[in-house]
């Protein structure tokens, strides 16, 4: 009506200007007064029909519906049109203007942005889960906005700038449950579970958790143990399932303290009776200290307790008899773990204590420098590169580090051989070396046949059979010492 009056005003000229303005003002005032009277009579929104009003009043309103009704009622102007707010949308290095209706949720605004900028959302299906999906994210002041929120309720005013971008989300294919600390570790790699070996999953679990391969086993959510020679599909493992990582009984506190780096409390958990088991526990603690970057713990174990960073952790002493099919990661050393995780401070301590440790190789035949280059650890690679080509002083001259490391290894083997052949008094070693060889009487653990001892229990199981065997061996040697005069005289001379 107003447009027709303006057109009539233009056609008639200035002569009818006064009458047209008066008529327009009168018509607008009359229409506004009539609309206000109608709203007072019906007591409903101008855009809401009478039938809908009756249906709305016939049911109780919830808190969310009341908030939505209040937000919608404040988003209309006097003539019943929804108000619009102007926003600036930043998308792909561009800034665009968009007028969106007030009172709309973030989810509705996202749909408008998708239609405006032609944003496509894809999904990659892997089994029963959406492995990868692209989602549109609307952010304001650095924070992501939820789809249920309303912009006006969040204090976002017209003229604000929102950032719209597409985020790739990945659902875990598997979950690893670390039973010693009840932590869930997601596996986000794209894996083909059909034919995927269990040994590869053990290596992946070791890298994710920081546990050496020799101290845990994998089991399904039903408790079925999984062996390295099989694949995941043989155990009916599907995408989204949970695989349990079970450790040795009685090691829970030891592993927790190793991950946290509590040196004094950790040393109290070391076995005081079994020297072989105590050394294995300290090697495990040094491996975990290298993974988590615990400098104090690694320094204490290497300098005060003689644990070597270039010595592989190996299997548990009870499993040292089983050498037919060993996992290649059993030859992984703490210095390899420190390089792979990029723990430069721990790596410096290892190299400063024993520079020859950078020449050791793991189960795949890789030196720490090769592993640093593969894992793209630039800081560790540059540090190892400067040390690997250094020369070591020997006598009046110098020799390359590679030759010096071979000479040192030969010297250590000679010391061990002298100790075995001629006794401790003829060797230059300060104490009896403890090697990772199986010993008669220390017990045997065979996977699938022996009593299960990897249940992540706080208390170690009481193995009566091993205790009786140990006592029998002690009685035998004590009786032999008493009866053999040569052994008795040798002990008296020493």
pLDDT of residue 77: 58
**What span, in angstroms and rounded, lies between the C-alpha atoms of 275 and 272?**
7
- Reduced to 3 states (helix: H, G, I; strand: E, B; else coil), residue 156 is coil
> Do β-strands 174-178 and 161-170 pair in parallel, antiparallel, or remain unpaired?
unpaired
Closest among 409, 291, 319 to 361, alpha carbons compared: 409
**pLDDT digits 0-9 by tens, 348-378:** 999 999 999 999 999 999 999 999 999 999 9
- 255-259, 268-272, 427-431: the lowest-pLDDT one: 427-431
DSSP state for residue 138 in the 8-state scheme: E
> CB-based contacts of 57: which residues, under 8 Å, 6+ apart?
none
- SS3 per-residue string spanning 285-303: HHHHHHHHCCHHHHHHHHH
Tokens of 252: 């829970």
Q: List the structure tokens of 239.
A: 């995408």
Give the position of tokens 């009776």.
273
Check if the beta carbon of residue 167 is closer than 8 Å to that of residue 134: yes
Quote the pLDDT of residue 67: 44
pLDDT at 60: 44
Domain parsing of the chain, residue ranges: 1-43, 84-170, 176-409, 464-493
- The residues near 388 (Cβ < 8 Å, ≥ 6 apart) are 358, 359, 369, 401
Q: H helices of 189-273, where?
A: 198-209, 252-260, 263-268
Dist CA 377 CA 375 (whole Å): 6
Burial letters 153-162, b for 16+ CB under 10 A, else e? eeebeeeeeb
Q: Which residues pair with 168 in a beta bridge?
A: 134
Mean pLDDT computed over 325-343: 92
pLDDT at 209: 93
Q: Which residues contact 9 (CB under 8 A, 6 or more apart)?
A: 16, 17, 20, 21
Tokens of 29: 């005032």
- For 437-476, what is each residue's pLDDT tens digit? 677 777 788 877 788 888 888 876 655 444 555 555 566 5
Closest CA to 85 of 109, 52, 120: 109
C-alpha to C-alpha distances, 141 to 92, 117, 138, 282, 494, nearest whole angstrom: 17, 22, 10, 49, 79
What is the dihedral sign for C-alpha 204, 207, 208, 211? Answer: positive
Query: CB under 8 Å to 279, separation ≥6 — which residues?
Result: 307, 434
414 in helix, strand or coil?
helix
What is the residue-averaged pLDDT of the chain? Answer: 78
Q: Are 314 and 362 in contact (CB under 8 A)?
A: no
Query: pLDDT digits over 149-166, tens only?
Result: 988 888 888 889 999 988
Structure token digits, residue 242: 């949970």
CA distances from 194 to 130, 191, 231, 276 (A): 18, 9, 7, 40
Which of 38-47, 286-295, 400-409 is predicted with the least confidence, judged by mean pLDDT?
38-47
CA atoms 227, 230, 235, 238: torsion sign: positive
We find that the CATH architecture of domain 84-170 is Roll (3.10)
- Separation CA 287–CA 312 (nearest Å): 9
SS3 content of the chain, % helix, strand, coil (to 5): 45, 15, 35
Could you name the CATH architecture of 176-409?
Alpha Horseshoe (1.25)
pLDDT at 323 over 90: no
Residues sharing a CB contact under 8 Å with residue 13, sequence separation 6 or more, in sequence order: none
Pick the more confident residue, 191 or 338: 338
The residue behind tokens 């449950």 is: 177
pLDDT of residue 21: 46
Q: Within a 10 A sphere around the Cβ of 457, how many other Cβ atoms?
A: 17
54-99 pLDDT, tens digit each: 433 434 444 444 444 444 455 565 555 667 888 899 888 888 888 8
How many whole angstroms separate alpha carbon 353 and alpha carbon 125?
51
Amino acid 75: pLDDT:
58
């Amino acid at each position: 009506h107003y447009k027709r009056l303006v057109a009539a005003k233009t056609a008639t000229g200035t002569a009818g200007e006064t009458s047209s303005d008066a008529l327009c003002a009168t018509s607008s005032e009359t229409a506004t007064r009539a609309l206000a009277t109608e709203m007072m009579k019906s007591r409903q929104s101008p855009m809401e029909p009478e039938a809908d009003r009756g249906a709305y009043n016939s049911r109780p309103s919830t808190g969310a519906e009341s908030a939505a009704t209040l937000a919608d009622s404040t988003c209309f102007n006097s003539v019943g049109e929804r108000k619009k707010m102007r926003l600036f949308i930043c998308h792909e290095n561009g800034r665009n203007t968009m007028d969106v209706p007030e009172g709309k949720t973030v989810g509705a605004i996202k749909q408008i942005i998708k239609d405006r900028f032609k944003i496509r959302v894809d999904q990659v299906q892997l089994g029963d889960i959406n492995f990868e999906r692209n989602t549109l994210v609307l952010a304001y002041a650095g924070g992501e906005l939820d789809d249920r929120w309303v912009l006006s309720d969040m204090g976002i005013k017209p003229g604000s700038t929102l950032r719209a971008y597409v985020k790739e989300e990945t659902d875990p294919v598997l979950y690893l449950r670390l039973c010693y600390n009840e932590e869930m570790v997601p596996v986000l790699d794209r894996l083909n579970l059909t034919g995927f070996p269990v040994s590869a999953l053990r290596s992946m679990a070791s890298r994710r958790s920081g546990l050496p391969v020799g101290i845990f086993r994998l089991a399904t959510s039903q408790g079925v143990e999984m062996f390295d020679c099989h694949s995941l599909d043989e155990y009916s493992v599907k995408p989204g399932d949970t695989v349990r990582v079970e450790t040795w009984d009685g090691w829970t506190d030891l592993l927790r303290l190793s991950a946290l780096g509590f040196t004094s409390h950790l040393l109290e958990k070391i076995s005081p009776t079994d020297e072989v088991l105590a050394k294995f526990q300290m090697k495990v603690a040094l491996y975990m200290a290298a993974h988590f970057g615990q400098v104090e713990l690694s320094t204490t174990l290497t300098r005060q307790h003689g644990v070597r960073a270039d010595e592989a952790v190996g299997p548990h002493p009870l499993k040292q008899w089983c050498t037919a099919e060993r996992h290649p990661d059993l030859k992984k050393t703490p210095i390899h773990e420190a390089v792979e995780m990029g723990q430069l401070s721990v790596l410096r301590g290892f190299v400063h204590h024993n520079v020859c440790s950078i020449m050791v190789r793991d189960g795949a035949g890789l030196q720490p420098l090769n592993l640093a280059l593969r894992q793209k650890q630039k800081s560790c690679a540059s540090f190892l590169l400067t040390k690997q080509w250094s020369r070591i002083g020997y006598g009046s001259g110098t020799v390359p580090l590679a030759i010096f490391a071979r000479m040192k290894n030969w010297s250590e083997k000679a010391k061990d051989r002298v100790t075995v052949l001629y006794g401790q008094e003829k060797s230059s070693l300060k104490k009896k070396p403890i090697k990772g060889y199986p010993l008669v009487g220390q017990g045997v653990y065979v996977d699938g046949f022996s009593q299960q001892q990897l249940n992540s229990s706080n208390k170690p199981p009481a193995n009566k059979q091993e205790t009786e065997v140990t006592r029998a061996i002690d009685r035998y040697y004590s009786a032999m010492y008493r009866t053999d005069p040569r052994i008795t005289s040798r002990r008296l001379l020493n």
